[in-house]
Amino acid sequence: MNTLAEKYPQDIKRILAKYPPEQKRSAIMPLLFLAQRETGQVSPEAVQEIASMLAVSTTEITSVMGFYTLFHDHPGGRYRLQVCHDLSCALNGAETFLEQLCRHLGIEEGQTTSDGLFTIEAVPCLAACDKGPVFQLQGDGEIVYYEKQTLESAKALLETLRQRAAGEVTP
Amino acid sequence: MPKLVNLTINHTRVTVPEGTLIVDAAKEAGINIPVFCYHPKMEPVGMCRMCLVDVARPVIDRATGQPVLEADGAPKLSFGPKLETACTTPVSEGMLVVEDSPKVTAARKDILEFLLTSHPLDCPICDKGGECPLQNLTLGYGPTESRFDFADKLHHAKRVPLGELIFLDRERCIQCGRCVRFQEKIAGDPVIGFYQRGRKLEIQTQTQPGFDSIFSGNTSDICPVGALTTADFRFGARPWEMEAHPSICAQCAVGCNIVFNTKREARSEGGMAIKRVMPRQNEAVNEIWLCDKGRFGYHYLQSGERLTRPMIRQNGELVPVSWETATDTIVERLKTGRSGLTVLAGGRLANEDLFNLKRLADAEHGKTLFYTHMGGGDLTGQVGLAPGSNLATLGKGDAVLVVASDLHEEAPIWWLRLKQAAARGASLVVLNPRATRLDDFAAISQRYHYGRVMDALAALFAGEAGQVLSQAANLVIFFGSEGLGVDGSQAVAQACANLLIRTGHTGRPNNGLVGVWSEPNAQGAWELGYRPAKNLTAELAEAHVTLVAGADPAGDDPALAETLQQSEFLVVADLFMTETAKRANVVLPALPYSEREGSFTSGERRVQRFTAALPPREKAHTEAMIAARVAARLGLKIEESLPVVFEKLAAETPAFTGLSFDRLAETHPQKPLLSREDLYYSGTAYENTAGLGCTLALTGSPAEAEPVTPELPAPVENALLAVPITRLYDRSSTLVHSSSILGQRMIGAEVWLNPQDAAERGLSAGAEIEIHLKSANWPVKVVINADVPAGAALLPRSVGIPAFELAALEI
Ligand code: SF4
Ligand code: SF4
Ligand code: FES
Ligand code: FES
């Protein structure tokens, strides 16, 4: 089993250097991002490792993971589309949008397509309340926002992503 | 003195110190603002919104900076646009708080309606039902009906074991965060936390074992609903069915104030039984907290293995007899020409027992010996804490030294109070041979090699720490017995006493020496003149009639067992058939302290009274009564009634002058003001109506003396140094005879080694090995711990291995 320290020594160093030693718990989030970079989820081993690296309890790490919809402790698709379904977005038609998107992919909210490409999740406010329907996309290491979405714009994106994934060399 | 602020709450004028929160100011004025997330012992977070009130402040003219006046000359007040949380808003001059207006009432109603949307409302089977803030506040302020669609109710797991001690009911949790904040801020164990958000939010733990904290039980007191319940009390009784009997925890020398909740029940054959132990507020002792040993370790008191009848040895067998026969047998023996009574008593006995036994021994030309593994109590009697002391008032400018003790394990509530003292700015100096959990809060923490404590103390006093300690406004020194026997700890106590005397830190409140004893009344035994024998084996071998009470020397040490086996005549008074009792000529069933009244003297020298929680269940008697009965048969008069015994004790013992059971029962208002009426404010801890206890006076004028340092054991090649340590969940009779509740956490016969020492000997963690100590072999399990210094082999006390001071140990 590869530990984070073995895999990403440089990144860890860079992240830790950003915070004063007595506040190294501030590095929880960047380290969690690092941990889920490759597989899209944080393993229990990684949680342990981050906890001991930052001298905080594992409970604290999982609390942070649980609070943010950004972190995942269970496997999902190659891409995760997280659609806001909070009040402002709902008024802007987010619920219908979410339903259509799911129907288009033939899955329910929270599920992953059978080809393993897409997971659709409903999440609370993404802080783009005036631009709903909105979703954030995770899967290529970054988080990208897609605002004022329609089923058409989303379909186009899914197609692009599909092609991008097909172009990936599968080891 | 902080500045005072005047304000009006409803129609009541209130004056409180600046910085006081509205909710606490109201409480002072007798107005209870309902809260859920706010707890007077923790920083406010304003999470639940239950405490919303309407607040008006004087209008200030911007140009002049003067208050604007109404036509009638009264200051013009202006209400804010929204309601404010009383738990996060500090008072200000001229403020008007309205908490009984329709607007506030409506807000409360809404908050409760929200909280109840997915609450299971299973009060009839909820442990909290009857003492539940949510129940009470709903009744007081809630809506009578819910507009929420019943089918939309969320359902969550209802039996989530956070560990083996605490269960979570996810549906009942109202997400107030009290439990999480308590664990992080007060207990210093952030081992539970929120997971997920909104309606998915749940309390989680990731530790092994789950909810790994020795203070976990307190969360069930402060949880404002029945979301956190203890494995011990779950479904045990309804709160209103139980009686509340004030008592004192007897598991260590802190002397936490408790209540035994008792109930008549079928399971106890129609008799009364203790159902739970609850904290009782004493801000000078335990505030409103208990450690889990105190809360869950009471089962020994009603164990089925308790002795029920007196027994005497006939033809080699112990056979049950009446009290008359047992007493006669003892009296006859005492009357034979070669009489002389040696009393060997432990620190579990109450003051009244110790006093009466001493009177009996004195009358019988006998002697009293204290059974202890730690010395120095004669010094804590002279330079101990004076009346008026309260660790909660130590702060900036004060200092505390802790030496040779792992307080977190040995006296959890002292640990907690010193942690808080350090947070208030007191300088904490810790001198221990290995890392302990107090180090994190220490201003200075130093280490020494086992056996070198006296040199280390001398060096510490001579260095920077010495400056800090000498110059402190107030100085308290806690000394323990890690790696030390009676003589070693006596020497440490003497060195510490010398420092206190030399630097003028004696004879006044918040100054002095505290012994970290392992028994509830060890300090009392010292104060009453009990002293350890210089050579216990010799004393016991010479004794004609030996009476052992509240101690099990034979169980602790096979050498003593051997000696006791040969006793001329051995009488044992105890709760259980101990190794010592097995060797006795007469065995007397003693009454547990839960079935009688009496008093203990805590390590802080506070004498505190306990009352009978249950009627005496067996044909047992107090040791005080046993002494009185024997005395009566010998034609002597020793009082039987415990209050009278205590009066007599107080009259004859200078430190106790003026004390009586009535004095011990006095109380005065304590902050935070808590009562069972408004459980939502601070939880289900009991208010103290039965007495705060009294700290003993200091008598005599202490003088410095040269400490006598005991010799170290001769080094043996390849041997490790056996080091006695004290662990919380040990194997003393109080835990061994408790139910299995703490079973998983109890230690066994084990030896703690440093990783390198273990590796050199080819030992891995968990290995079952034999150690050679004091010319005998002992089976133990290996525990590998990086905090153990090289060359040391730590042996927990009370597991039956005779490690009482440093000794050579071979593997
Ligand atoms: S378990 Fe109790 S104390 Fe903890 S957050 Fe829930 S309601 Fe509050
Ligand atoms: S700290 Fe000591 S006295 Fe207090 S509850 Fe724990 S064992 Fe009992
Ligand atoms: S409500 Fe959707 S982003 Fe805020
Ligand atoms: S917000 Fe004030 S008590 Fe919760």
Taking only the tens place, the pLDDT of each residue in B644-657 is: 999 999 999 999 99
Q: How sure is the predictor about B350, in pLDDT bands with cuts at 50, 70 and 90?
A: very high
Residues of chain B neighbouring A56 (CB-CB closer than 8 A): 190
Task: Measure the CA–CA gap between B412 and B129, rounded to whole angstroms.
Answer: 30
Task: Measure the CA–CA gap between B376 and A164, rounded to whole angstroms.
Answer: 78
Instruction: Flag whether residue A110 sits within 8 Å of chain B, measured between CB atoms.
Output: no
The whole-angstrom distance between B434's CA and the closest CA on chain A is 20
CB A66 to CB B195 under 8 A? yes
Could you tell me how many CB contacts below 8 A there are between chain A and chain B? 38
Burial class (CB in 10 A: 0-12, 13-18, 19+), B667: middle
pLDDT tens-digit readout, A88-126: 999 999 999 999 999 999 999 999 999 999 999 999 999
Per the CB < 8 A criterion, the answer to whether B745 and B777 are in contact is no
- Report the residue of chain A nearest B197, measured CA to CA: A67
CB B190 to CB A60 under 8 A? yes
Which of ligand 2's atoms lies nearest the C-alpha of B279?
Answer: 5
Domain assignment of residue A73, yes or no: no
Instruction: Give yes or no: residues A62 and A106 share one domain.
Output: no
Domain assignment of residue A74, yes or no: no
The whole-angstrom distance between A77's CA and the closest CA on chain B is 21
Task: Measure the CA–CA gap between B719 and B264, rounded to whole angstroms.
Answer: 56
Domain assignment of residue A111, yes or no: yes
Domain assignment of residue A45, yes or no: yes
Residue B46 CB–ligand 4 contact under 6 Å:
yes
| Residue whose token pair is 């830190």 | B505
Which residues line ligand 2 at a C-beta cut-off of 6 Å?
B 249, 251-252, 254-256, 286, 290-291, 293-294, 411-413
Question: Considering only CA atoms, which residue is closest to atom 4 of ligand 1?
Answer: B179
Task: Measure the CA–CA gap between B611 and B698, rounded to whole angstroms.
Answer: 26
Task: Measure the CA–CA gap between A85 and A93, rounded to whole angstroms.
Answer: 9
Q: How sure is the predictor about B197, in pLDDT bands with cuts at 50, 70 and 90?
A: confident
Instruction: Give yes or no: residues A162 and A88 share one domain.
Output: yes
Helix segments in B117-194, DSSP class H: 133-141, 178-181
Instruction: Give yes or no: residues A42 and A91 share one domain.
Output: no
Domain assignment of residue A149, yes or no: yes
Instruction: Give yes or no: residues A133 and A101 share one domain.
Output: yes
Which of ligand 3's atoms lies nearest the C-alpha of A87?
Answer: 1
- Report the residue of chain A nearest B194, measured CA to CA: A63
Task: Measure the CA–CA gap between B444 and B434, rounded to whole angstroms.
Answer: 14
Ligand 4 center to B677 CA (angstroms): 19
Provide φ and ψ at B588, rounded to 5°. Answer: -115, 130
| Residues of B contacting chain A (CB within 8 angstroms) | 190-198, 204-207
Instruction: Give yes or no: residues A25 and A53 share one domain.
Output: yes
The whole-angstrom distance between B193's CA and the closest CA on chain A is 6
Instruction: Flag whether residue A84 sits within 8 Å of chain B, measured between CB atoms.
Output: no
Say which CATH number the domain at A22 has.
Answer: 1.10.10.1590
Element (H, E) at A104: helix A94-105
Ligand nearest to the CA of B288: 2
Task: Measure the CA–CA gap between A101 and B537, rounded to whole angstroms.
Answer: 86
- Report the residue of chain A nearest B196, measured CA to CA: A66
Residues of chain A neighbouring B206 (CB-CB closer than 8 A): 47, 57-59, 61-62
Mean pLDDT computed over B510-524: 97
Domain assignment of residue A72, yes or no: no
Q: How sure is the predictor about A142, in pLDDT bands with cuts at 50, 70 and 90?
A: confident
3-state secondary structure B348-368: CCCHHHHHHHHHHHHHCCCEE
Instruction: Flag whether residue A86 sits within 8 Å of chain B, measured between CB atoms.
Output: no
Question: Tokens in use for B551?
Answer: 């101690």
Task: Measure the CA–CA gap between B591 and B620, rounded to whole angstroms.
Answer: 5
pLDDT tens-digit readout, B610-634: 999 999 987 899 999 999 999 999 9
Instruction: Give yes or no: residues A57 and A93 share one domain.
Output: no
Which of ligand 2's atoms lies nearest the C-alpha of B254?
Answer: 3
- Report the residue of chain B nearest A51, measured CA to CA: B206
Instruction: Give yes or no: residues A87 and A107 share one domain.
Output: yes
What is the model's pLDDT at position A24?
A: 92
Instruction: Give yes or no: residues A84 and A162 share one domain.
Output: yes
Ligand nearest to the CA of B176: 1
Q: In the 8-state DSSP scheme, what is residue B761?
A: T
Q: Write the DSSP string, A35-67.
A: HTTTTSS--HHHHHHHHHHHT--HHHHHHHHHH
Task: Measure the CA–CA gap between B525 and B378, rounded to whole angstroms.
Answer: 10
The whole-angstrom distance between B207's CA and the closest CA on chain A is 7
What is the model's pLDDT at position B235?
A: 94
How confident is the prediction for chain A on average, in pLDDT? 91
State CA B772 to chain mean position distance.
35
Mean pLDDT computed over B26-55: 96
Residues of chain B neighbouring A67 (CB-CB closer than 8 A): 194, 196-197
Domain assignment of residue A107, yes or no: yes
**Is the ipTM of this structure higher than 0.95?**
no
Out of A46, A67, A88, a domain closes at A67
Instruction: Flag whether residue A113 sits within 8 Å of chain B, measured between CB atoms.
Output: no
Which residues line ligand 1 at a C-beta cut-off of 6 Å?
B 173-179, 203, 223-225, 227-228
Q: How sure is the predictor about B733, in pLDDT bands with cuts at 50, 70 and 90?
A: confident
Mean pLDDT computed over B468-492: 97
What is the model's pLDDT at position B739?
A: 73
The percent of residues in chain A predicted with pLDDT above 70, rounded, is: 98
Mean pLDDT computed over B250-266: 97
Out of A17, A46, A67, a domain closes at A67
Ligand 4 center to B36 CA (angstroms): 6
CB A62 to CB B195 under 8 A? yes
- Give the amino acid at B130: G
pLDDT tens-digit readout, B686-718: 999 999 999 999 988 899 999 999 988 888 888
Instruction: Flag whether residue A57 sits within 8 Å of chain B, measured between CB atoms.
Output: yes
Task: Measure the CA–CA gap between B96 and B10, rounded to whole angstroms.
Answer: 7
The whole-angstrom distance between A68's CA and the closest CA on chain B is 7
Question: Considering only CA atoms, which residue is closest to atom 8 of ligand 2?
Answer: B294
pTM score, whole prediction:
0.94
- pLDDT beyond 90 at A139: no
The whole-angstrom distance between A117's CA and the closest CA on chain B is 25
What is the per-residue burial (b if ≥16 Cβ within 10 Å, else e) of B38-57? bbbbbebbebbbbbbbbbbb
Which of B41, B83, B87 is the best mutation target for the ligand 4 pocket, counting ligand atoms within 8 Å of the beta carbon and taking the most?
A: B87
What is the model's pLDDT at position B338?
A: 62
CB A57 to CB B207 under 8 A? yes
Instruction: Flag whether residue A123 sits within 8 Å of chain B, measured between CB atoms.
Output: no
Ligand 2 center to B181 CA (angstroms): 21
How confident is the prediction for chain B on average, in pLDDT? 95
Residues of chain A neighbouring B196 (CB-CB closer than 8 A): 66-67
The percent of residues in chain B predicted with pLDDT above 70, rounded, is: 100
| Residue whose token pair is 């919303």 | B52
Out of A35, A67, A99, a domain closes at A67
CB B194 to CB A66 under 8 A? yes
Instruction: Give yes or no: residues A150 and A96 share one domain.
Output: yes
Mean pLDDT computed over B386-395: 97
Cis ω for the linkage preceding B209 (within 30 of 0): yes
Question: Considering only CA atoms, which residue is closest to atom 3 of ligand 1?
Answer: B223
pLDDT tens-digit readout, B580-608: 999 999 999 999 999 999 999 999 999 99
- Report the residue of chain B nearest A68, measured CA to CA: B196
Ligand 2 center to B292 CA (angstroms): 8
Ligand 4 center to B185 CA (angstroms): 18
Residues of the domain holding A94? 79-167
Instruction: Give yes or no: residues A100 and A59 share one domain.
Output: no
Residue A12 CB–ligand 3 contact under 6 Å:
no
CB A59 to CB B193 under 8 A? yes
What is the model's pLDDT at position B337?
A: 65
CB count within 10 Å of CB B680 equals: 23
Q: How sure is the predictor about B391, in pLDDT bands with cuts at 50, 70 and 90?
A: very high
Whole-number CA gyration radius for chain A: 17
Per the CB < 8 A criterion, the answer to whether B673 and B27 are in contact is yes
Mean pLDDT computed over B768-782: 92
Ligand 2 center to B187 CA (angstroms): 14
Whole-number CA gyration radius for chain B: 29
Mean pLDDT computed over B268-290: 96
CB B190 to CB A59 under 8 A? yes
- Report the residue of chain B nearest A63, measured CA to CA: B195
Question: Tokens in use for B423?
Answer: 């947070």
Task: Measure the CA–CA gap between B523 and B374, rounded to whole angstroms.
Answer: 11
Instruction: Flag whether residue A39 sits within 8 Å of chain B, measured between CB atoms.
Output: no
- pLDDT beyond 70 at B110: yes
Per the CB < 8 A criterion, the answer to whether B621 and B588 are in contact is yes
Residues of chain B neighbouring A62 (CB-CB closer than 8 A): 193, 195, 204, 206
CB B204 to CB A63 under 8 A? yes
Q: Give all domains of chain B, ordered by start, each with its CATH number.
A: 4-100 (3.10.20.740), 112-230 (3.30.70.20), 377-516 (3.40.228.10), 720-810 (2.40.40.20)
The whole-angstrom distance between B661's CA and the closest CA on chain A is 47
Q: In the 8-state DSSP scheme, what is residue B69?
A: B
- pLDDT beyond 50 at B109: yes
- Report the residue of chain B nearest A62, measured CA to CA: B195
Instruction: Give yes or no: residues A50 and A97 share one domain.
Output: no
The percent of residues in chain B predicted with pLDDT above 90, rounded, is: 89
Instruction: Give yes or no: residues A85 and A157 share one domain.
Output: yes
Question: Across B748-806, where does the E strand assignment appear?
Answer: 750-753, 768-773, 776-784, 792-796
Task: Measure the CA–CA gap between B92 and B462, rounded to whole angstroms.
Answer: 49
The structural domain count of chain A equals 2
| Residue whose token pair is 């929160």 | B21
What is the model's pLDDT at position B1?
A: 73
Say which CATH number the domain at A151 has.
Answer: 3.40.30.10
- pLDDT beyond 70 at B259: yes
Task: Measure the CA–CA gap between B459 and B65, rounded to whole angstroms.
Answer: 59
